[in-house]
Amino acid sequence: MFSSAGVPARVKIAFSFVLALMIAPVVFPSIPPQLSLSEVVTSVFGELMIGLILGMSVALVFLGARLTGMIIGQQAGLALGRVFNPMLDTQSTIVGQLYFFAFMLVFFAVGGHVAMIRVLLDTFQTIPPGTFHYSFSVITLMEQLMTSAFALAIRLAAPALIALFMASVTMGFLSRTIPQLNILTIGFAVRVFVGLSVAGLSLPLAYELINGNLIDNMILIRGVFGLD
């Protein structure tokens, strides 16, 4: 979200500078008065690793929304119509854009952006500068977040997938009953209509799933950094 290509570089720099000014008075007392060049480089590398782990963890949270759109788009025949997503700096399907922005709205509504900044600032208390050590729990965190993203994608896409399956079965019976019917031409329009309709109708019901997934993932992230 903060590293998106849609956010101007000046805004990113200003935001980082303000955060640095806010946290500096808290961090300075925990820094040794004299550090060698190698210790400074090691400390900076450790802080970068913490930021990368936290950023990757939050990015994996949004992976579920992107996968949902990809699954529905592939099954409905909309995968060819791709659009550029500036928030992810990549291409995605139209349905993927819909679910991504719905996920983003829920993320802001439940205060996910505030929780993300809070985790970042709290890490300076549990992991003072220069004390970061890589542990196997980081790999476990990534594995759990990816599993959670895939599970969320399947659960969000389930209504549309079931409706598309029923539409395929119905069109199969129609093609056998009325051979003169051009099922390829009609079937494409029917699948697009069914996929978009069911996805749109089920989207308001996805709030609880998305909210619960965000809360569970933030708990996992805080647990890895010792912020329980």
When pLDDT is averaged across residues 216-222 and rounded to a whole number, the result is 78
In this predicted structure, the answer to whether residue 174 has a pLDDT above a threshold of 70 is yes
Instruction: Quickly tell me which residue has 């965000």 as its tokens.
Output: 214
Residue type, 178: I
Minimum mean pLDDT among 36-50, 94-108, 112-126, 173-187: which range?
A: 173-187
pLDDT in tens, 65-74: 778 877 877 7
Per-residue pLDDT, 82: 59
| Cα dihedral 128, 219, 53, 121 in deg (nearest 10) | -40
Q: Running DSSP on this structure, what letter comes out for residue 84?
A: E
Residue from 159, 164, 169 nearest 190 by CA: 164
The residue that leads in pLDDT, 165 or 74, is: 165
User: What pLDDT does 64 receive?
Assistant: 79
Q: Which residue has the higher pLDDT, 92 or 83?
A: 92
What residue type is assigned to position 62 of the chain?
Answer: F
Token pair 């051979």 is at which residue? 179
Quick one: pLDDT at residue 92? 65
DSSP state letter for 93: E
- Mean pLDDT in residue range 158-169: 84
For residue 48, is pLDDT > 60?
Answer: yes
Tokens linked to 112: 């996910």
Q: Rounded CA gap, 8 and 93, in Å?
A: 24
Q: Residue 152: pLDDT above 80?
A: yes
Q: Whole-number mean pLDDT of the chain?
A: 77
- Highest-scoring range by mean pLDDT, 16-20, 61-65, 92-96, 222-226: 16-20
